[in-house]
Amino acid sequence: MTKSKSFFYNLVKPFKLKSTKETQDEELEQLAAQEQKIFKFQTLISATKNFHPDNKLGEGGYGPVFKGKLEDGREIAVKKLSQTSKQGKKEFTNEAKLLARVQHRNVVNLLGYCGNPEKLLVYEYVEHESLDKFLFKHQEVLDWKRRYDIIRGVARGLLYLHEDSHDRIIHRDIKASNILLDEKWIPKIADFGMARLYPEDQTHINTRVAGTNGYMAPEYVMHGTLSVKVDVYSFGVVILELISGQKNSTFDLDPECQNLLDWAYKLYKKGKSLEILESKLAASADPEQVCACIQIGLLCTQSDPKQRPTMRGVVLMLNKKPSALDEPNRPGIPGTRYRRSHRSATSSSAAGTSGASSSHASTATTTSTTMVASTPKGSAFVAARSGSSTMTSAAGSSGHGVSHSGPHRKLRSDPHGKRPMVIQD
């Protein structure tokens, strides 16, 4: 090699581009080393008894989770990345990076990371697992005091993520199954695979839609507009689920109401808020606390994100009487005619939908009106009411693809959509 070529080679060498995978792996290893959170693979093999099926706690979005016990007696939960999950690799890396410096009583604690020969995340073990098992699968009755403490705890955890953590974080998938309960029934927000860092100098960002049916805010579903108010909306849904014992996405108590939010608002306006309360809680409930929480849940689920409180506001409101709280309008429901304006949305039009999609095409059958958000590039978002399926979609940067030319005109999807929504079971 000539001197000139050798000089050029040495000059360019430090700037050689690395693959995304190599960069992510190095970032994680550096972060884990910096935070002193590295676990040896053999340590985790021993703790989980070689990932024995008897120690399996469940299956996460990107791989199985196993219970383990370290030599010092600490119980742990080990999240293992599935070798076949491509999307999972991104979510796995995202969760590790976001949680590395997060520490709060109401956020699950990431103890460490193992990157070789397999990718593993190590968490504190949470005794009672997820909230949804107690609310919807009736494993054990949660009395009102526990439910109220869960509401307060999750509120404090979200306040920490939005305003007090090292980096401002939007979770994007707050729901009952992502709230874990420890041995003292203290709630811990978990599963940060879809969380996003949020620039403090911006009011919102536009992003690909990712979340769970029944918990996503209208402006996020329809336009991909992401802000901390998206988490506030999801939290409002969780409040109303905790009070009623009903799941928003599968609600069917009242044929006149589209979902839990609709029903709660209907009873609230009639002055019958306490009828929302799950009947078996009547003996243990504080009526004033219940009414205040219902009002807060409705305020958190307002159609216009500007009308929703911040999580700091929610924490303060939880100490107030119902009479001191603002009057909520009808809650926002994805698929209703939400417009990004200064006016509040009070319409509750549009009914639930069902849909399916593949990597090449998307079809939808509707019971009345189909929820659609189209982007300027022609991609379409067809939201489906299908239980608690997690879904992702490509959203346009401007979010102006939905038009309403008249009060009776149904929304229609773009027939030339290039990137249909993917629904994950």
- Spell out the residues 6+ positions from residue 409 whose beta carbon is closer than 8 angstroms to its own: none
**pLDDT-based confidence at 195, cuts 50/70/90?**
confident
pLDDT at position 263 over 60: yes
Nearest CA among 207, 190, 175, 189 for reference residue 392: 207
Q: What is the pLDDT of residues 23-66, one digit of tens each?
A: 555 555 555 555 557 899 999 999 999 999 999 988 866 788 99
- How far is Cα 259 from Cα 249, in angstroms, rounded to an integer? 7
Q: What is the pLDDT of residues 128-167, one digit of tens each?
A: 889 999 998 876 779 999 999 999 999 999 999 999 988 8
Q: Which residue has the higher pLDDT, 20 or 356?
A: 20
CATH fourth-level superfamily of 132-324: Transferase(Phosphotransferase) domain 1 (1.10.510.10)
Phi, psi of 388 (to 5 degrees): -110, 35
**pLDDT-based confidence at 100, cuts 50/70/90?**
confident
**Cα separation of the two ends of the chain:** 57
- How far is Cα 386 from Cα 91, in angstroms, rounded to an integer? 23
Please check whether residue 395 is in contact with residue 208, taking contact to mean a CB–CB distance below 8 angstroms.
yes
Q: Which residue has the higher pLDDT, 349 or 28?
A: 28
3-state secondary structure 50-76: CCCHHHEEEEECCEEEEEEECCCCCEE
**Which residue among the candidates 143, 149, 173, 252 is catalytic per the annotation?**
173
The predicted pLDDT at position 333 comes to 74
- How far is Cα 380 from Cα 415, in angstroms, rounded to an integer? 8
- How far is Cα 212 from Cα 235, in angstroms, rounded to an integer? 13
pTM for the structure as a whole: 0.70
- Spell out the residues 6+ positions from residue 287 whose beta carbon is closer than 8 angstroms to its own: 274
Pairing of strands 422-424, 390-393: antiparallel
- How far is Cα 363 from Cα 418, in angstroms, rounded to an integer? 13
Give the lowest-confidence range in 11-15, 189-193, 413-417.
Answer: 413-417
Tell me the average pLDDT of the chain.
Answer: 75
The predicted pLDDT at position 369 comes to 33
Identity of residue 167: D
H-helix or E-strand containing 424? strand 422-424
**pLDDT-based confidence at 19, cuts 50/70/90?**
low
pLDDT at position 188 over 70: yes
**pLDDT-based confidence at 349, cuts 50/70/90?**
very low
Phi, psi of 349 (to 5 degrees): -70, 170
Beta bridge partners of 423: 391
Domain ranges for the chain, please list them: 19-124, 132-324
Q: What's the CATH architecture for 19-124? A: 2-Layer Sandwich (3.30)
Say whether 231 is catalytic: no
